[in-house]
């Protein structure tokens, strides 16, 4: 495996049998370099180093292994040394996490990374999965009293079983590779600093990777950093020092730790000293994600992140990009500092699992887009000058094509000026999701037409039928034109409902009756997700309607709606349904939540909405 590289050095990780003699040379054009450094990591793992290399140059390393009584064996790996540290230039970093490659015969995503030839590949944790491994139905479980995590030899074997997969080897032999851990290649599920075998896990991890460094003399761990052209990468340790409220009730979301005090101090000092235009912070778990689920700083260590954010603002440290994994989904995120400077994050997961591409049904205020499916992340930093350049994040598939989930290209481009402090003209900033509902009251909403009631309970809007009432609507005070809308809904089996988009209520039209496109909410076997013209004589706008429905009766259902120009598209539980062109309806209007009228002598029935978010489209 190609390990850490700089503009003048390179390293190669190997594992050899005892008694094997290895020689090596690195060739750059007509110049040959001999091995200048050899480190025995233990357990037959070694790192060979070369120095005095030319910057930004193709480098072919040939290793010759000789063992008494056997013919010599040759092996080659190829990489490019990094460009010299500079304030400008173009750098591509591939990254990803959650690689269960040892459980699958094929892993084509790794070959796609190799073909792209990025400057480096960063494995963001769960690079191998420690499992129960007892041959039972729970063989691949990551939770149990006994598993690989109980035995250093089993930890090492699981790393190696992953490492030798032929599809992964194509990548490992062609670009520099870096690894940080998360819980599944550190210990059991959600393991933290109380893991009894953390020292053994650290020793095994150091044997398996050829990173530029390993913590500090006074603060062990896997954190380190390196420079590549205009980019400096900080590789962080999210397990060795972790102590969070997820497992320890004596701390809170504000006081919990993921990095720990010593590592955080090292990170802050490194950021202050960095001369790189872009600073990439690679962490196993998410940092600025505002989802109320999963691990990460928002749920476990808000105070730690606040210290980082305040330091960045006070010291005017711009150009910060977070890379993360862990979640078994991918997403682009951004969070504005008080002056508008953006902190941005790119999450890529999984590299290899049994996932099909679909839109992500989890969302939060910092999210730009999200998707599920095997992928790798590609970060392209292209800097032309002071505040002139772009940072692009995209997810790629096994054919090296950008993923498209529910019609949304999984790609975001930020202008460098948006990530730097003291900039007045930041250009067009990518749009995140805006909550339609504040979670506590109905501020910003108006009831229209019938007499059904709407109330708020535990972050949910609940509509309740009233006998004798016509259709009732709770409508936004604001109008929306081109937009994306996401929400979750649950409805009683005896009731149907809908969500109005681009709708109107005009005094001179049917005495103010709400009318416009309605996306249907109906239990199976209804027409959930299709578009109806409410309050007009048109009927269904969706002429082609399937007899099967992805709607889940009695459960929360995720809706995703896009209205752009005359086109309206809908998805329910990640299944594409309506795709219509509607030239007759208004292309701007309010969003409304419907409680349908009911027959006399029936009810009351309820329909509930939560997590309502909207995002304007250009």
The answer to whether the beta carbons of residues 533 and 501 sit under 8 Å apart is no
pLDDT, mean of residues 307-323: 98
Give the model confidence (pLDDT) of 546-603 as tens digits.
989 999 999 999 999 999 999 999 999 989 999 999 999 999 999 999 999 998 888 8
The per-residue pLDDT for 258 is: 98
Answer yes or no: is pLDDT of 137 > 80.
no
**393 CB-near residues (< 8 Å, 6+ apart):** 332, 344, 346, 377, 378, 379, 411, 412
| Side-chain-side CA neighbours of residue 327 (13 Å) | 28
Residues sharing a CB contact under 8 Å with residue 136, sequence separation 6 or more, in sequence order: none
607 Cβ partners below 8 Å, 6+ apart?
462, 463, 489, 490, 491, 492, 495, 497, 521, 593, 595
For 224, residues 6+ apart whose C-beta sits below 8 A from its C-beta are 211, 212, 213, 214, 215, 235
Does the structure show a pLDDT above 80 at 135? no
Largest CA distance in the chain: 98
DSSP classification of residue 341: P
Main-chain dihedrals φ then ψ at residue 574, nearest 5 degrees: 70, 5
What is the pLDDT averaged over residues 165-182? Answer: 97
CA distances from 532 to 432, 436, 560 (A): 28, 22, 16
- What is the reported pTM? 0.90
Tell me the CATH number for domain 1-81.
2.60.40.3340
Is the bond leading into 161 cis (omega within 30 degrees of zero)?
Answer: no
Rounded distance, CA 69 to CA 615, Å? Answer: 69
Note the helical H segments in 105-240: 108-116, 152-163, 166-172, 198-208
Give 449's Cβ-side CA count (13 Å radius): 28
Residue 263 phi/psi, 5-degree rounding, is -65, -40
Query: Is residue 47 within 8 Å of 39, Cβ to Cβ?
Result: yes
Q: Is the model more confident about 454 or about 71?
A: 454
Whether residue 268 is preceded by a cis peptide bond, meaning omega within 30 degrees of 0, is no
For position 442, what pLDDT does the model report? 97
Whole-number pLDDT of residue 567: 96
Cis amide bond preceding 604, omega within 30: yes
Q: Which CATH superfamily is domain 88-419 in?
A: Alkaline phosphatase D (PhoD) (3.60.21.70)
Candidates 412, 388, 123; CA nearest to 230 is 388
Q: What is the DSSP letter of 148?
A: G
Provide, for the chain, the percentages of residues in helix, strand and coil under a 3-state DSSP scheme, each rounded to the nearest 5.
Answer: 15, 40, 50
Cis peptide before 525 (omega within 30 of 0): yes
8 A C-beta contact, residue 267 and residue 259:
yes
Kindly list the domain boundaries of the chain, sorted by start residue.
1-81, 88-419, 434-616
Distance between CA 225 and CA 235 in Å, rounded?
6
Average pLDDT of span 219-236? 98
Predicted confidence band at 138 (pLDDT cuts at 50, 70, 90)?
confident
Question: What are the structure tokens assigned to 573, written together?
Answer: 């539980």
Binning pLDDT at 50, 70 and 90, where does residue 439 land? very high
Tell me the β-bridge partners of 531.
519
Between vectors from CA 515 to CA 361 and to CA 488, what angle results, nearest 5°? 15
pLDDT band for 70, please (50, 70, 90 cuts): confident
Angle between helices 152-163 and 198-208 (to 10 degrees): 30
> Residue 186: its pLDDT value, please?
98
Query: Length of the chain in residues, anyone?
Result: 618
pLDDT of residue 328: 96
Report the pLDDT value the prediction gives residue 252, as an integer from 0 to 100: 97
Average pLDDT over residues 253-267: 98
Residue 161 three-state SS: helix
The reported pLDDT for the residue numbered 574 is: 85
- Residue range 264-293, pLDDT digits in tens: 999 999 999 999 999 999 999 999 999 988
CA 66 and chain centroid, separation: 44
Cα–Cα dist 175/179, whole Å: 13
Residue 218: Cβ-neighbour burial (10 angstroms; 0-12, 13-18, 19+): exposed
- 434-616: same fold as 1-81? no
pLDDT in tens, 333-384: 999 999 999 999 999 999 998 888 888 888 888 999 999 999 999 999 999 9
Give me the CATH topology for the region 434-616.
Jelly Rolls (2.60.120)
Mean pLDDT, all residues of the chain: 95
């Amino acid at each position: 495996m190609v390990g850490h590289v700089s503009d003048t050095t390179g390293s190669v990780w190997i594992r050899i049998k005892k008694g094997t003699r290895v020689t090596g040379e690195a060739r750059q054009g007509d110049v040959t370099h001999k091995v200048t450094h050899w480190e025995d990591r233990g357990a037959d793992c070694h790192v060979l180093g070369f120095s005095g290399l030319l910057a930004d140059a193709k480098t072919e390393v040939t290793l010759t292994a000789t063992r008494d009584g056997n013919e010599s064996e040759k092996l080659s790996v190829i990489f490019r040394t990094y460009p010299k540290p500079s304030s400008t230039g173009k750098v591509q970093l591939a990254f990803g996490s959650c690689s269960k490659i040892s459980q699958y015969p094929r892993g084509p995503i790794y070959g796609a990374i190799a073909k792209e030839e990025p400057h480096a590949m960063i494995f963001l944790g769960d690079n191998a999965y420690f499992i129960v491994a007892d041959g039972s139905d729970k063989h691949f479980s990551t939770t149990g009293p006994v598993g690989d995590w109980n035995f250093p030899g089993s930890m090492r074997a699981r790393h190696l079983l992953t490492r030798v997969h032929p599809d992964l080897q194509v990548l490992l032999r062609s670009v520099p590779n870096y690894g940080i851990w998360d819980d599944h290649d550190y210990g059991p599920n959600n393991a933290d600093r109380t893991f009894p075998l953390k020292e053994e896990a650290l020793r095994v991890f150091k044997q398996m990777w050829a990173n530029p460094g390993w913590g500090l003399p006074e603060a062990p761990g896997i954190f380190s950093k390196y420079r590549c052209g205009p980019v400096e990468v900080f590789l962080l340790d999210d397990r060795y020092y972790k102590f969070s409220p997820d497992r320890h009730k004596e701390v809170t979301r504000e006081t919990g730790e993921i990095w720990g005090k010593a590592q955080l101090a090292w990170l802050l000092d490194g950021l202050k000293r960095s001369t790189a235009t872009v600073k990439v912070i690679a962490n196993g778990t998410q940092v600025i994600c505002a989802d109320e689920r999963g691990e990460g700083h928002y749920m476990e260590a808000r105070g730690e992140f606040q210290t980082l954010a305040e330091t960045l603002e006070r010291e005017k440290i711009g150009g910060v990009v977070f890379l993360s994994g862990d979640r078994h989904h991918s997403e682009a995120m951004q969070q504005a500092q008080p002056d508008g400077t953006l902190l941005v994050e790119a999450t890529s997961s999984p590299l290899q699992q049994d996932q099909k591409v679909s839109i992500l049904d989890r969302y939060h205020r910092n999210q730009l887009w999200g998707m599920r499916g095997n992928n790798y992340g590609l970060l392209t930093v292209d800097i032309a000058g002071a505040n002139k350049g772009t940072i692009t994040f995209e997810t790629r598939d096994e054919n090296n094509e950008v993923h498209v989930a529910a019609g949304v290209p999984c790609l975001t481009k930020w202008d460098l000026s948006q990530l730097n402090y003291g900039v007045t003209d930041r250009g067009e900033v990518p749009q995140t999701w805006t909550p339609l509902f504040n979670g506590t009251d109905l501020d910003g909403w108006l009831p229209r037409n019938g007499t059904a009631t709407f109330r708020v309970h535990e972050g949910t809007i609940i509509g309740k039928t009233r006998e004798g009432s016509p259709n009732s609507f709770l409508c936004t005070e604001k109008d929306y034109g081109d937009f994306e809308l996401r929400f979750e809904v649950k409805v009683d089996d005896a009731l149907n409902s809908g969500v109005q988009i681009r709708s109107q209520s005009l005094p001179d039209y049917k005495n103010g009756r709400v009318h416009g496109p309605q996306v249907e909410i109906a239990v199976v076997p209804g027409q959930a997700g299709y578009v109806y013209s409410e309050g007009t004589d048109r009927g269904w706008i969706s002429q082609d309607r399937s007899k099967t429905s992805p709607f889940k009766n009695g459960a929360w259902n995720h809706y995703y709606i896009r209205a752009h120009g005359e086109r309206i598209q809908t998805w329910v539980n990640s299944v594409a349904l309506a795709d219509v062109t509607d030239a007759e309806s208004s292309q701007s209007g309010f969003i409304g939540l419907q409680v349908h009228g009911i027959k006399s002598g029936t009810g009351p029935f309820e329909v509930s909405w939560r997590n309502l978010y909207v995002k304007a489209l250009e």
